[in-house]
Amino acid sequence: MRIGIGYDVHRLVEGRRLILCGVEIPYERGLLGHSDADVAVHALMDAVLGALALGDIGKLFPDSDPQYKGADSMKLLDTVIGKMRGKGFSLGNLDITIITEKPKLSPYIEQMRQNLAKAFDCDISQISVKATTEEGLGLGGAGIGANAAVLLE
């Protein structure tokens, strides 16, 4: 068994779509980034790569590379899952915490879990996605952060 952790933060700006775990969430702002800036999937990919000791997504998908401009992070995740399988591993379970003051994410959590279960081709019981605020003490609405932990078998 191998464990991995990942962490990411992106800034919230006007004129961008807000996408978390492949779910587009209606909101007045979205996350800024070279790709679609799906901060939760970025943290998750770093956790999987960390478990495999394969570096991080900055190394795998450099933001200086135009082919990743506007990239669908769920597609990048497919590449990372391919690397995981190539090393002979499958997902034991994963756990993600998304950190944001707004918007409320509870209506979208199940769809996020389903998207990830489909990507890993696993049971939804292996996928946990949670959301928390920082009581106004952290990013304070300037951005969204995410932590991820994975166990690979």
- Residues near Mg ion, by CB under 5 A: 8, 42
Q: Which is nearer to Mg ion, 8 or 101 (CB)?
A: 8
Give dist(CA 117, CA 99) in Å, integer.
21
Shortest distance, CB of residue 85 to Mg ion, whole angstroms? Answer: 23
Shortest distance, CB of residue 39 to Mg ion, whole angstroms? Answer: 6
Q: Which is nearer to Mg ion, 61 or 126 (CB)?
A: 61
Shortest distance, CB of residue 130 to Mg ion, whole angstroms? Answer: 19
Q: Which is nearer to Mg ion, 42 or 113 (CB)?
A: 42
Q: Which is nearer to Mg ion, 76 or 126 (CB)?
A: 76
Which residue sits closest to Mg ion, CB atoms considered?
Answer: 42
Tell me which residue of 152, 126, 127, 136 sits closest to 50, measured CA to CA: 152
Shortest distance, CB of residue 59 to Mg ion, whole angstroms? Answer: 13
Shortest distance, CB of residue 42 to Mg ion, whole angstroms? Answer: 4
Q: Which is nearer to Mg ion, 51 or 144 (CB)?
A: 144
